[in-house]
Amino acid sequence: MIIPVTEPPAWDDSLQRVLNAHPVPARYTDAPWPHPPVRARLVWERDGEQWLETVAVAWTRELVLVDVVDPRVQVHGQWLAVGDVERA
């Protein structure tokens, strides 16, 4: 008897890109502990805009690294423009 081999897909279709995320900057400043609470605006590839209550982990003059724990992304940190983040 031949048993067919099924391979998992080469991608996970539940994953989405955060369209307003930026690449990791060359230099940044780590946020003090405990990390300051913020509200972050995420723009998901398929689900659109979402405001998330989270914390700021690091920053530059133009970008803020926020903690994003969500099954739609593999990386829990997303670099967003300072205009997409406000103190909570």
In a domain, 83, yes or no: yes
* Adjacent-strand bridge partners of 80: 21, 64
In a domain, 13, yes or no: no
In a domain, 52, yes or no: yes
In a domain, 16, yes or no: no
pTM given for the model = 0.83
Total of domains in the chain: 1
Q: Which domain holds residue 48?
A: 21-87
Q: d(Cα 21, Cα 73) in Å, to the nearest integer?
A: 12
In a domain, 45, yes or no: yes
Q: Which helix (H) or strand (E) covers residue 44, if one does?
A: strand 37-44
Residue 81 or residue 12, greater confidence: 81
In a domain, 12, yes or no: no
Residue 32 or residue 6, greater confidence: 32
* Adjacent-strand bridge partners of 44: 18, 48
pLDDT digits (tens, 9 = 90+) for 40-74: 999 999 999 999 999 999 999 999 999 999 999 98
In a domain, 6, yes or no: no
In a domain, 48, yes or no: yes
Residue 5 has pLDDT above 80, yes or no: no
Answer for the pair 70, 14: CB distance below 8 angstroms, yes or no. Answer: no
